[in-house]
């Protein structure tokens, strides 16, 4: 059964008025899940708080301490031009990271599979000792590290189809041969990384502005899919960002929910062949509310 992990605390992170990373993103997804009928065939779980030991698998302990020290009790703290902490942010970030840990546990105990973590703030830009791009903790990295360190997986794949390169995840795992990281992203575009990577366990697919579904599918088919089959992952993690949608004004790519359904179908087939079906998907970007909600539903339908 498909598990959806979230928590009310994820609604309380307030990045400020007009900030695209808003609580309405989760509200839109929930409404679309109900309208699609999927809400009746999923099992919902409340995300726990990630403990510091889980965070420290991928983040520097001094950095973690700084994040906790910066958390405001009133007002807000601006970490950079994009990344803001409000009084509700730390709890939301702890829950977002904790969702990934819980998801791994649910899958490994046979209680649910696949798992979708419907959380915010997102995580894939957070580096080992740096917050950026709306992200405090790298949620998908925390989940993958938990799977490797607790359950001994030797081959874990993380795929990231957000419109922005997952620089944090790449920086954390670039020298870890247990991890294959595949990322597609608009280039040149924030955070202006990834296009020149040459580490053997990284498969970066930069897409020029204006790229559409056929271009995306061709690039994934040429680069990601062969690499994933060669790697034969034992667990598949997805950084599911939906901001490359044609209606999302955060980007200049032109994907649709049909493209997200296609890539999910391809990834699910790989998980069935190599991972005994083990898939955990983590929400990253997606800021046009209607496009985001429809894309998530398309993604989940293919996962189940």
Please tell me the distance from the alpha carbon of residue 291 to that of residue 277, in angstroms, as a whole number. Answer: 27
Choose among 99, 230, 237: nearest CA to 156: 237
- Residue 208: CB atoms within 10 A of its CB come to 12
pLDDT on residue 200: 85
Q: Phi and psi dihedrals of 80, rounded to 5?
A: -145, -170
Residue with tokens 């000792």: 129
Q: Where are the domains of the chain?
A: 3-303
pLDDT at 108: 98
The terminus-to-terminus CA distance of the chain in angstroms comes to 8
| pLDDT for the residue 198 | 63
**Cβ atoms 136, 89 nearer than 8 A:** yes
- Could you tell me the pTM of the whole model? 0.98
Enumerate the active-site residues. 125
On whether the CB atoms of residues 245 and 255 are closer than 8 A, the answer is: yes
Cβ atoms of 241 and 286 closer than 8 Å: yes
Secondary-structure class of domain 3-303 per CATH: alpha beta
Per-residue pLDDT of the chain (304 residues; tens, 9 = 90+): 999 999 999 999 999 999 999 999 999 999 999 999 999 999 999 999 999 999 999 999 999 999 999 999 999 999 998 999 999 999 999 999 999 999 999 999 999 999 999 999 999 999 999 999 999 999 999 999 999 999 999 999 999 999 999 999 999 999 999 999 999 999 999 999 998 766 789 999 999 999 999 999 999 999 999 999 999 999 999 999 999 999 999 999 999 999 999 999 999 999 999 999 999 999 999 999 999 999 999 999 999 9
Find tokens 């990344």 and name the residue: 83
């Amino acid at each position: 059964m498909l598990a959806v992990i979230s928590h009310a605390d994820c609604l309380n992170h307030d990045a400020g008025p007009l900030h695209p990373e808003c609580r309405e993103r989760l509200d839109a997804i929930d409404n679309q899940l109900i309208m699609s009928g999927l809400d009746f065939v999923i099992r919902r779980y409340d995300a726990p708080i990630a403990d510091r030991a889980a965070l420290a698998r991928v983040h520097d302990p001094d950095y973690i301490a700084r994040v906790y020290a910066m958390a405001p009790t009133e007002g807000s703290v601006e970490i950079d031009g994009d990344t803001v902490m409000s009084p509700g942010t730390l709890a939301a970030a702890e829950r977002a990271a904790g969702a990934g840990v819980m998801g791994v546990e649910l899958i490994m105990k046979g209680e649910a599979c696949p798992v979708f973590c419907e959380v915010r703030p997102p995580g894939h830009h957070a580096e080992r000792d740096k917050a950026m791009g709306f992200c405090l903790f790298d949620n998908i990295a925390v989940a993958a590290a938990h799977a490797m360190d607790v359950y001994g997986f030797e081959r874990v794949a993380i795929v990231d189809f957000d419109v922005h390169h997952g620089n944090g995840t790449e920086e954390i795992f670039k020298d870890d041969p247990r991890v294959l990281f595949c990322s597609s992203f608009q280039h040149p575009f924030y955070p202006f990384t990834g296009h020149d990577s040459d580490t053997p366990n990284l498969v970066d697919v930069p897409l020029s502005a204006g790229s559409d579904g056929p271009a995306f599918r061709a690039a994934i088919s040429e680069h990601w899919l062969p690499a994933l089959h060669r790697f034969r992952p034992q667990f598949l993690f997805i950084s599911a960002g939906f901001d490359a949608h044609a209606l999302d004004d955060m980007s200049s790519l032109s994907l649709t929910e049909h493209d997200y359904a296609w890539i999910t179908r391809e990834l699910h087939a790989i998980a069935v062949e190599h991972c005994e079906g083990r898939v955990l998907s983590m929400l990253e970007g997606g800021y046009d509310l209607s496009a985001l909600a429809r894309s998530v539903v398309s993604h989940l339908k293919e996962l189940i």
